[in-house]
Structure 1
Amino acid sequence: MRRLFLAIALAAAVPSASPALAQTAEEQRMLDWARERGRLIFALDRVAWVATDDMRNRIPDPVAAGVRGYIVDRDENGFIPIFFGEEDGRLVAIYRARVTGPGGVSEPTDFAPGQRPVLTPRQARLVQALNIVRQGQVARCTQAAPNVSIIPPESDGDPIDVYVTAPQMRQGFLQFGGHERISIGPDGREIARRPFTRTCLEMPLPPEAMRRQGAMATFNHVLDPVPNEIHVFLAMAARMPIGIVTRNPDRTWQVTGDGITLLQEGAPRRR
């Protein structure tokens, strides 16, 4: 996999490149799922750091308070970040809040010892998934600890997907490699693992002057026929479109948090 700066006149290319031009119904389903899952990973990542900042303002010494980690649950009203611990052999919430949008944290509560609510069975499954990942081997492409985003299951019998993502270490670079998805079954065992690249990749982003001319940081991707959820997450994290070139057949895609657009069939044009 190699990186290139692909200069594309996006304003001209996008209207003429219909997403249905060279996609099967199955590929469109994959693209729709990748968009929604990538946006969810980004949202969970944001909820974690927003809630962490608020929690630390309320609990200056989380370790002394018994905090052992955090999970993010969700319901029809938004996300529920929970920093948990253990009391009397039961998993309990030490801090809990709600994050519904860009406005930040609402309903924050730090619970006193003896008054900490017991986690629900679903929330206990999220903690179990976190512990499985903590205790196992995960991709390490940076010196910093990887970020962990756990997807709350739709129902009790569904597997739990855990995304382990490598943090960005340098401004002006995109950490493209070092991300993986680990699936945990209802019985608490790992049932699948999927890396998103074959190597660790940290790639420079195009300078601002090149971006104004339509340049994107563009990457060859050989593991999927279309862009995947990590590409959507990375585009949102970088706050700019990225280009993905897939093979068999050669196709060039633009990926943003709003969607995935087929720009070109055939080898990418460079200038």
Structure 2
Amino acid sequence: MRPLLVSLFAALSLGLAPAVQAFPVQADADAPPAKVEVWSLQQTGEIGSAIFIQDRAAWRATDVLLPQLEGQTEHGLIGWIVVDQGDAQLVRFLRGDPTAPLPGYDILVDKNGRAGPAIPSKDAALPDDQVAHYLARNLAIANIGDLRCTANFNTVVLDDPDSDGWLVWLLAATSESDVVPMGGHYRFHVSADGRTLEKREQLSGGCLNMDRPPAAPDGEVLGIGTTVLVAPQPLEIHVFLSLLNRLPIYVMAGDKIWSVEGALIQEVDSSKIR
């Protein structure tokens, strides 16, 4: 089961009609949410995949580290960052002062999500860009908006493809394996030094927890449908949720319906949806 990290600190491709749940509209907040930035469908797929890879690395590394810390009440850890190393992700659990974080434990997670051992870091200090990465993460957490769909959020930090700064996601988390938290996620734009919040984007119109569909008797993977109010197309969060839950997500945005099957986003013929 995917842990709450904060507790530690396709049918269409075959020309078949997809079976999906209804398209529920996310509950409106007091004021309509602002429209959010979108990328091309290909880039949206790539960013959503990167979110999934980093999130998976963090929780797989946590699974390795937690048993090692069992019984240690003074481990001094203050959080983590995930550093992309091409075919692998380096998860660095940090210690010390949150304003000047230091390396604590390092865990390398390979491209298949397999985590190596937790190794006490040999580095005396973090590089400046990793300090900024951590500060950006904390800045986003400190500036969450009014929409609180869960008590706990997981975090992902990536390079902003459109600037020299950071993109930070707060991902609404759940410990229930049969629940898909479709609403309540945030995206933040943060300066390169990690100290200035440039924009906060609410990625849903409200809270929406959806039941994961059971497997069909014939083995068909059922999808779930949702409606997006903040963008004219699926967002990276839908790619992430599709990969995380291993199911297709069908997104109604504007007057179109889209299928999201991992990183592949396609407009679909609504007449084929039953």
TM range (shorter): 0.7 to 0.9
One of 232, 238, 242 as aligned partner of 1:235: 242
The structure with the largest helix share of the pair is 1
Deviation of residue 71 (structure 1)? 0.7
**Structure 2 match to 1:198:** 205
Change (3 A) 1:110 1:85: same
Q: Distance in 2 between matches of 1:238 and 1:208?
A: 12
Task: Deviation per CA, 1:223-271: give whole Å up to 9, x if none.
Answer: 2222110010111122111111121xx222110114112221xx55554
Task: Deviation per CA, 1:173-228: give whole Å up to 9, x if none.
Answer: 32110001011112411001111111101122334228856752111223222211
- Kept in 2: contact 1:9–1:213 (CA 8 A): no
Change (3 A) 1:152 1:105: farther
**Structure 2 match to 1:69:** 79
1:12 and 2:11 are equivalent in the alignment: no
Larger of the two Rg values belongs to structure: 1
How does 1:122-133 map onto structure 2 within 5 Å? 122-133=129-140
Q: Distance in 2 between matches of 1:140 and 1:211?
A: 38
**Structure 1 match to 2:186:** 180
Deviation of residue 108 (structure 1)? 3.5
Q: Distance in 2 between matches of 1:173 and 1:127?
A: 29
Q: Distance in 2 between matches of 1:166 and 1:142?
A: 6
- Kept in 2: contact 1:162–1:183 (CA 8 A): yes
Change (3 A) 1:212 1:243: farther
Q: Distance in 1 between matches of 2:57 and 2:221?
A: 31
> What is the TM-score normalised by the length of structure 1?
0.78
How does 1:1-271 map onto structure 2 within 5 Å? 11-13=14-16, 30-61=40-71, 64-86=74-96, 90-102=100-112, 104-106=114-116, 108-111=118-121, 116-138=123-145, 139-143=147-151, 145-152=152-159, 158-187=164-193, 188-209=195-216, 212=219, 215-247=222-254, 250-264=255-269, 271=274
- Kept in 2: contact 1:252–1:268 (CA 8 A): no
Structure 1 letter corresponding to 2:42: D
Count residues with an aligned counterpart. Answer: 241
Percent of aligned pairs with the same amino acid: 25
Change (3 A) 1:233 1:84: same
Q: Distance in 1 between matches of 2:68 and 2:159?
A: 26
Structure 1 letter corresponding to 2:169: Y
Change (3 A) 1:61 1:186: farther
Task: Deviation per CA, 1:77-135: give whole Å up to 9, x if none.
Answer: 52110011127x85311101211222512364124xxx652011011001111221232
Q: Distance in 2 between matches of 1:128 and 1:238?
A: 30
Change (3 A) 1:38 1:78: same
- Stretches of structure 2 lacking an aligned partner (at least 5 in a row): 1-10, 18-37
Q: Distance in 2 between matches of 1:50 and 1:154?
A: 26
- Kept in 2: contact 1:161–1:183 (CA 8 A): yes
Deviation of residue 150 (structure 1)? 1.3
Specify the SS of the correspondent of 1:123.
Answer: helix
